[in-house]
């Protein structure tokens, strides 16, 4: 079997990295303790069997197992198996199901930035760790078989030692057309090996060395010691059956030089409505964002997905000041009927929200803010010269926003598609707020009078 496709070769390399076993990961560690502190991003399933059980037990997933959905799900399954699974198995000459059965522990993919001094553009390295649990012997047999297939295809695996562990280095051939596959995103080389029950794969020997050092003797600080990750893990990610985390503070450091380079292209721009890229970046307040994460948790009646932005309060500005919530009660009130379809309550200071939005827009494009002030200043003046829309409307906005979804009026399709809803705004003076809203709506709805 001759493998011509570059990515097929890479996939076989990943499966074919069989090495001798040590006791480095004899007691599997959580991803945070196994990865180095400079990890840029991580996507992990701490225990694949538990995650699979939770996923298959989710109500939405179980919906597709209902007999009434059989024709639909069968069509999707058949299409996926024929177009995706079948193609991969044909290229690799293996049965993927034989290898997915070996996923008996942790599955982690991590990314690292590689920005050597003097480099014009940073590059990125990846690392994959797959724990076969108590099936390490089966994994070794499968890898030996795939490695033989790879050798039969004319590829040579070069042994290499990283922190006293045996790995194989592979530099996949090109596509035979004289093109540089690295420019298309394929890694130039891979380092792979089996360490205890783990299959370890990386595009960089330096990354693999740090991972092994972090996971063994602590010679390298681990991700669990990273203050940003440590805090968000304790508050959100711990106990999840799957999660991802991005060290946005490091990404921001990579973005800033690129944005400054774009500023030079705007040097001759005289349009005051188009701000410089650096001004946009600064006004958005992205410099205060430390990390982004999502996590999946199993609940007694389903699953929960959480998305989290880690922004210290003292560093919040721009869009993060807009999104800041009040630390107040957000539970449903006693007057909310039991038959509501949906309910949301957001404790946000709406007056402050508008003030911060005005400030952000004014910082980016002062002329635009001038038009807004002119428009708001004229609202209601034709009916009452002393009317001040800003004071009457924005000055009376509270910190409570409630949205209630009500049941459809009937079972007709048009009623089901457009159910009634109710929005409530908290206000210190609801009467003045309502009067300001009515006057503004009258002003906007009236046709323009000719002069």
In tens, the pLDDT along 131-186 reads 988 888 888 888 787 777 767 777 667 888 888 888 888 776 544 444 444 444 44
pLDDT category at 215 given cuts 50, 70, 90 is low
Q: How far apart are CA 160 and CA 156, in angstroms?
A: 13
Contact 218/244 with Cβ under 8 angstroms?
no
Number of C-beta neighbours around residue 64 at 10 A = 12
Residue 172: per-residue pLDDT: 60
pLDDT category at 93 given cuts 50, 70, 90 is low
Residue given tokens 């030089």 in the structure block: 257
C-alpha dist (Å) from residue 109 to 31, 34, 97, 387: 10, 12, 20, 60
94-122 residue pLDDT tens? 677 777 788 888 999 999 998 777 667 78
Task: List the single range of 194-203, 213-222, 423-432 with lowest mean pLDDT.
Answer: 213-222
Helices (H) and strands (E) in the chain, counts: 18, 13
Q: How far apart are CA 259 and CA 272, in angstroms?
A: 19
Residue 177: per-residue pLDDT: 45
Token pair, residue 254, equals 């990579």
Residue 118: per-residue pLDDT: 66
> pLDDT at residue 366 above 80?
yes
- Run of H or E including 262: helix 248-265
The overall average pLDDT reported for the chain is: 81
Residue 278: per-residue pLDDT: 86
Residue 42: per-residue pLDDT: 96
Please provide the DSSP assignment of 39-60 as one string: --EEEEES-HHHHHHHHHTSHH
> pLDDT at residue 368 above 80?
yes
Residue 173: per-residue pLDDT: 57
Residue 22: per-residue pLDDT: 41
Stronger pLDDT, 55 or 94, i.e. the higher one = 55
> pLDDT at residue 210 above 80?
yes
Task: List the single range of 60-74, 140-154, 418-432 with lowest mean pLDDT.
Answer: 140-154
> pLDDT at residue 8 above 70?
no
| Of residues 4, 172, 15, 10, the one with CA closest to residue 95 | 15
Average pLDDT over every residue of 71-80: 87
Q: How far apart are CA 273 and CA 135, in angstroms?
A: 62
Average pLDDT over every residue of 341-355: 91
pLDDT category at 27 given cuts 50, 70, 90 is low
pLDDT category at 334 given cuts 50, 70, 90 is confident
Q: Which of 115-119, 218-222, 227-231 has the highest mean pLDDT?
A: 227-231
Q: Which of 272-281, 343-352, 357-366 has the highest mean pLDDT?
A: 343-352
Residue 290: per-residue pLDDT: 93
Q: Which of 72-81, 123-132, 244-253 has the highest mean pLDDT?
A: 244-253
Residue 43: per-residue pLDDT: 95
Angle between helical axes of 350-364 and 366-378 (0-180°, round to 10)? 130
Q: How far apart are CA 127 and CA 204, in angstroms?
A: 8
Q: Cβ neighbours of residue 404 under 8 Å, at least 6 residues apart?
A: 336, 340, 342, 343, 421, 422, 423, 424
Average pLDDT over every residue of 215-220: 68
Residue percentage of the chain with pLDDT more than 90:
26
Average pLDDT over every residue of 412-434: 91
Q: How far apart are CA 39 and CA 223, in angstroms?
A: 7
Q: How far apart are CA 261 and CA 102, in angstroms?
A: 48
Q: Which of 62-66, 109-113, 254-258 has the highest mean pLDDT?
A: 109-113
Average pLDDT over every residue of 387-398: 90
Average pLDDT over every residue of 21-34: 63
Residue 7: per-residue pLDDT: 44
Stronger pLDDT, 61 or 106, i.e. the higher one = 106
Helix (H, G, I), strand (E, B) or coil at 24: coil
Residue given tokens 């952000």 in the structure block: 360
Q: How far apart are CA 355 and CA 378, in angstroms?
A: 18
pLDDT category at 88 given cuts 50, 70, 90 is low
Beta-bridged to residue 158, according to DSSP, are 169
Average pLDDT over every residue of 314-336: 86
């Amino acid at each position: 079997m001759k493998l011509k496709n570059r990515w097929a070769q890479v996939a076989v390399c990943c499966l074919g990295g069989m090495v001798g076993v040590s006791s480095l990961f004899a007691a599997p560690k959580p991803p945070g303790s196994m990865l180095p502190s400079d990890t840029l991003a991580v996507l992990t399933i701490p225990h694949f069997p538990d995650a699979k059980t939770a996923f298959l037990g989710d109500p939405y997933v179980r919906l597709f197992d209902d007999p009434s959905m059989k024709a639909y799900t069968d069509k999707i399954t058949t299409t996926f198996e024929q177009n995706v699974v079948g193609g991969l198995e044909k290229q690799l000459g293996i049965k993927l199901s034989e290898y997915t059965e070996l996923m008996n522990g942790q599955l982690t993919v991590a990314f690292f930035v590689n920005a050597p001094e003097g480099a014009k553009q940073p590059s990125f390295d990846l690392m994959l760790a797959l724990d076969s649990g108590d099936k390490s012997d089966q994994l070794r047999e499968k890898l030996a078989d795939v490695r033989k297939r790879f050798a039969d295809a004319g590829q040579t695996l070069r042994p290499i030692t990283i922190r006293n562990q045996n790995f194989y280095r592979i530099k996949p051939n090109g596509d035979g057309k004289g093109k540089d596959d690295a420019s298309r995103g394929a890694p130039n080389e891979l380092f792979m090996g089996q360490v205890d029950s783990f299959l370890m794969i990386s595009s960089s020997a330096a990354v693999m060395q740090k991972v092994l050092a972090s996971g063994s003797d602590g010679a390298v600080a681990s991700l669990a010691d990273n203050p940003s990750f440590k805090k968000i893990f304790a508050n959100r990610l711990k106990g999840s059956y799957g999660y991802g985390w991005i060290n946005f503070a490091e990404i921001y450091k990579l973005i800033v030089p690129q944005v400054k380079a774009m500023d030079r292209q705007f040097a001759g721009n005289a349009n005051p409505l188009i701000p410089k890229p650096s001004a946009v970046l600064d006004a958005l307040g992205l410099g205060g964002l430390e990390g982004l994460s999502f996590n999946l948790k199993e609940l007694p009646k389903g699953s929960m997905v959480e998305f989290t932005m880690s922004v210290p309060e003292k560093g919040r500005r721009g869009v993060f000041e807009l999104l800041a919530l009040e630390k107040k009660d957000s539970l449903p009130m006693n007057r909310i009927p039991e038959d509501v379809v949906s309910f949301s309550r957001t404790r946000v200071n709406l007056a402050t929200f508008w003030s911060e939005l005005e400030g952000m827009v004014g910082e980016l494009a002062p002329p635009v803010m001038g038009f807004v002030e002119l428009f708001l200043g004229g609202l209601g003046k034709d009916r009452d010269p002393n009317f001040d829309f800003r004071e009457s409307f924005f000055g009376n906005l509270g910190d409570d926003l409630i949205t209630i979804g009500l049941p459809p009026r009937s079972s007709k399709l048009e009623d089901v598609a457009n159910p009634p809803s109710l929005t409530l705004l908290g206000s210190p003076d609801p009467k003045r707020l309502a009067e300001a809203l009515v006057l503004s709506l009258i002003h906007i709805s009236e046709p323009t009078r000719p002069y």
